[in-house]
Structure 1
Amino acid sequence: MTTPRSGKRFIAWAAVAGVVAGAVFLAVAELAALVFARTASPILAVGAFVIDIVPRPLKEFAITTFGEYDKIALLVGLGLAVLIASAIAGILQYVRPHLGAIAIGLAGVLSGAAIVTRAEATVLAYLPPILGTIGGVVILVILGRRLRAWREASTAAPVPENPAHSRHLDRRRFLMLTTIAGASAIVVGIAGRTVSAVTSSAEAIRKAIKLPAPRSTVSIPSGAELDVKGLSPLITPNADFYRVDTALTVPTVDPETWTLVIDGMVDQRIELTFQDLLDMGLDEYAITLTCVSNEVGGGLVGNAVWQGVPLRDVLAMAGPQSGADMVLSRSVDGYTASTPLSAVTDDGIDAILAVAMNGEPLPPEHGFPVRMVVPGLYGYVSATKWVTELKVTTFAEDEAYWTPRGYSAEAPIKFASRLDTPKSGTPVKAGKVPVAGVAWAQTVGIERVEVSIDDGEWKPAKLSKPINEDTWVQWVMEWDATPGTHYVAVRAVNKNGDLQIEERAPIAPDGSSGWQRSLITVS
């Protein structure tokens, strides 16, 4: 006889069966992706689809809350969603046979659509979701039948000649099959993703790259770096450089097969290989990059020494035509950015195709083998990673990834200043306290930085000697701090005499603004 308690037990086991079926779905799909199409992982494709469709406020919230771990947070969220959906499918299959199988089939269709519509999808990209769906449905149907047989056996009268067999055989069959299927899915899934990650890793390829010595190098002037504890270093180490992009997993690009196509409104279509770029000769450029998602006082800004070739030289080979005003750059994963043509052809702007960062080939997460770096523009309209196409066009004709999502098509950087030390929430002792930070105004340069304590007089800070007008400068001011709480504010003036914007503005549509004002505790 089935009691309410035993009924709940079977519902719980039905949920477990659904989770196991979901795990089999993903494991088979991962294994098939390893064989047929490396980019056809359902969980990663759906994750990339989510990144594309979520509203702008949620994107900004994720970047602000999780920073460079936003992709991990998304994957964890997707994992929980898959877990819950799989459990529901298992319960549906138990309560009403075929409904759970239909639910898994629908999941397969949706994940397949997410896979085949990606820019990097191959001709066999449809196979992993199909095979995964078949595996998940088969396991769910079998486990559903076993579970119902167990339930029926538990409510039926025992067979006199062998009561133990009639009561426990179906339970053992269900538990054994569930355990084997679940364990196999875990082993196959983890092995498939691990093998895929190892065999597709760009790191081994990257380490084998031998870049030619640059024809010119960046000279760091004496006094370019101030010796202040807690102050951001002049050159941001690669490991600490911010990362914000739409790629759920880092694309793997072999420089041996990489090509850059320049087409659109040009006199002739050009296709360059990685070696073609190297043969043009490399030069060093010190350039600060800023993300449009950087809030006042935020850390989504960094300074590096890049090696590359001028974009104007590359575009000149194709011959941009009259009337063109934009370059639509495209990444291997389909991401696009709209850069004013004038910004990449002006002789006074060091817009480059970069192949190295701080003395080594670009790290995979920063665009290996080739990325764009354009001073004076926010990254979302200029700093395309894993770039593979430059289309000369017009703003009227084409739009990039972020434009329909509420961001400006053109986004010159709003120059800014940041307080690095002392930090809010970290008390300092009374006495001489260095107040220090960085300030940037790409293509123009910083003229001075001023600091105000408790809304008092604005006093000039000491500036480091700039490397050039495209990099940030460090600044410091000695503060005779007294016990209590104090407000420290900072602002900058660029070399055109413009004062940093005081009014606060949100990230969208073209970058935040405002003076940083921090509450500092002095003990």
Structure 2
Amino acid sequence: MIRERLFRTIFAGLLTGLVAALLMTLVMALLRYSLGFASTFEMFGDRFAPLLPVDLFLRLQGILGGYDQMKGLGVGSVIAGQIIVGCTGGALYALVVERDPARRRAPGITRRGILFVALVVGLAWLGTLALLRPVLDTNFRGSPPGPASVMTVLALLFSFVVFGLTLVLVYRAITRSESSDEGASAPAGGRLIGRRAFLAGVAGLGFALVSGELFRRLFDRATFSYDGLTYGGPGLQAITPNDQFYVVTKNVVDPLVERSAWRLGVTGLVDDPKTYTFEQIASMPSVEQETTLSCISNPVGGELMSNAMWKGVPLRDLIEASSPREGVVEVVLHAVDGYTDTFSFEKALDPTTLVAYEMNGEPLPDRHGYPARILVPGLFGEKNVKWVTRIELVDHDAKGFYETQGWGPNFVQPTRSRFDAPDFARPLRAGQTVGLLGIAYGGDRGVSKVEVSTDDGRSWREARIDHQGSKLAWSVWSHDWRPEGPGEYRLVVRATDGEGELQTSEVRRVGSGMGATGLHKVTARVEA
């Protein structure tokens, strides 16, 4: 009888905890979907992903099948963890209540139980705030960091309170025995526990279904359909269309920023901190410049790079308007999605470093940082922070999201070049002229020359540069080649930057953390 009673008590507690955890998850999903509040399932990933060393980070991607799979596993693990912790909390609550002599005066609810729930909710809330403190200013609708932090703190408190209240009320409902003359709770022997447990289970299923629908809608906006988008191949254009521009994002669901809520602050070591609306930024004297972006994870010959015409305000103008103090070493960039990154104060004052708000003559697309992003020519894409909301001047070597993992310390784009056409998977014909096509990129140094070898680097011929671009952008090159006879040919391309420096042939892989280097080589199969 004692063992059976204990079993029924724990079962009732587990069921209650499950219902409460599902409702809490539903509340979090609803706040994320409707108001853009950061959820624990996203913030935990953003908080702890930077702590993964580069080699482990890349190894996990390889094991799981990619970055998207890794992000999905992270979100699912946090949700599963919440439910498991919720069930455990429910079982402990049931044991506390059933071991309290006062339970006979209050069916399914006691003062000791209430104190236990209050303690659990309070500790869970404070513990979560302590763990997630660096990312509490995340808000996917674009609220400024200060208000965003307050809203996140309150949203977490509300979610945990919902869990606690549900725990108390559902447990009371499923254990109260209406047949008892004394009105005592009866988890072990109450004749109605089965029916009430069934109803609680139905309620939990309902919460799960509604949560599932919200997650489905969020999934429809998820980055899985475009994260890792590449651009290149025979159809390459000098200026990449916005919808084909490469994308890499840390988010499962990217921000949808409301321009009216968004602000850009300049803070830190300044005498006159300022906050700008989008309209104020857009009314300032602007510049347009052609600039290429490339991901630090782009392999030799890879297509995680694109080129666009950007319009924006020099970051230097905003910094100087705030009167920076002496001793500034770096700027730390904060984005609405909790992402951070850094670069030198000297680079921030470069006139080509922009707060960009237009891309190829259109407002920035959501996935590219609407309403404004930072553009830092010559540095890898991760430094070109999207959805930027705060620019902080600091006097020390700060570490951003990926820097904390160990990427860097050198983030300067090396000179690179590649073949884009023809399709080397198909055989070529001997004696027929083949139009070779590709791009070359020298960071913010420009490109002065491109050379092609058709004999694995033993001899070189200079290619035509058909689109010179600005010195901040890639160049598009072409070369006519006529293979004389059948066989396999090893083709290689190399570029010289605008300062006369030849592209290095030294092989450095993505896992180095500083970007891949080496020469792009392809094999052409020629048939008679």
TM-score range, shorter chain: 0.7 to 0.9
Contact 2:25 2:79 in 1 (8 A): no
Q: Equivalent residue for 2:360? A: 358
Q: Equivalent residue for 1:70? A: 67
Q: Distance in 1 between matches of 2:62 and 2:246?
A: 12
| Greater shift in the superposed pair: 402-411 or 137-146 | 137-146
CA apart distance, 1:142: 8.8
Q: Does 1:429 align with 2:428?
A: yes
Q: Equivalent residue for 1:57? A: 55
Q: Equivalent residue for 1:130? A: 160
| Greater shift in the superposed pair: 436-445 or 247-256 | 247-256
Residue 119 of structure 1 is aligned with which of 103, 128, 137? 137
Q: What are structure 1's unaligned runs of at least 5 residues?
A: 1-11, 147-165, 199-227
Q: What are structure 2's unaligned runs of at least 5 residues?
A: 1-10, 97-115, 139-148, 177-190, 222-231
Q: Equivalent residue for 2:26? A: 27
Q: Does 1:500 align with 2:518?
A: no
Contact 2:54 2:513 in 1 (8 A): no
| Alignment: residue pair count | 460
* Matched residue SS, 1:125: helix
TM-score under structure 2 length normalisation:
0.72
CA apart distance, 1:183: 3.1
Residue 43 of structure 1 is aligned with which of 41, 57, 66? 41
Contact 1:29 1:131 in 2 (8 A): no
Q: Distance in 1 between matches of 2:233 and 2:397?
A: 50
Closer, same or farther: CA 410–317 of 1 in aligned 2, 3 Å: farther
CA apart distance, 1:362: 0.8
CA apart distance, 1:361: 0.8
CA apart distance, 1:321: 4.0
Q: Does 1:513 align with 2:526?
A: no
CA apart distance, 1:471: 1.0
Q: Equivalent residue for 1:242? A: 246
Amino acid in the other structure paired with 1:29: M
Contact 1:48 1:248 in 2 (8 A): no
Listed as ranges, the matches of 1:372-521 within 5 Å are 372-381=374-383, 383-394=384-395, 396=396, 398-409=398-409, 411-423=411-423, 426-431=425-430, 432-455=433-456, 456-481=458-483, 482-507=485-510, 508-521=512-525
Contact 1:328 1:339 in 2 (8 A): yes
Closer, same or farther: CA 450–301 of 1 in aligned 2, 3 Å: same
What percent identity do the matched residue pairs reach? 28
Amino acid in the other structure paired with 2:28: A
Q: Distance in 1 between matches of 2:56 and 2:166?
A: 32
Q: Equivalent residue for 2:343? A: 339
CA RMSD of aligned residues (A): 4.4
Closer, same or farther: CA 291–187 of 1 in aligned 2, 3 Å: same
CA apart distance, 1:311: 1.9
| Greater shift in the superposed pair: 256-265 or 492-501 | 256-265
1:142-201 Cα offsets, whole Å, 9 max, x none, are 99989xxxxxxxxxxxxxxxxxxx9xx987765564344213321255248849999xxx
1:196-246 Cα offsets, whole Å, 9 max, x none, are 999xxxxxxxxxxxxxxxxxxxxxxxxxxxxx9714221112222222243
Q: Distance in 2 between matches of 1:301 and 1:416?
A: 11
1:460-513 Cα offsets, whole Å, 9 max, x none, are 222213121111111122333454444322211112221111111133442221
TM-score under structure 1 length normalisation:
0.73
* Matched residue SS, 1:243: coil
Q: Distance in 2 between matches of 1:195 and 1:417?
A: 38
Contact 1:45 1:114 in 2 (8 A): no
Listed as ranges, the matches of 1:279-294 within 5 Å are 279-294=283-298
Amino acid in the other structure paired with 2:436: V
Contact 2:125 2:156 in 1 (8 A): no
Q: Equivalent residue for 2:323? A: 319
Q: Distance in 1 between matches of 2:133 and 2:397?
A: 26
Closer, same or farther: CA 353–31 of 1 in aligned 2, 3 Å: closer
Q: Does 1:183 align with 2:206?
A: yes
Q: Distance in 1 between matches of 2:423 and 2:218?
A: 44
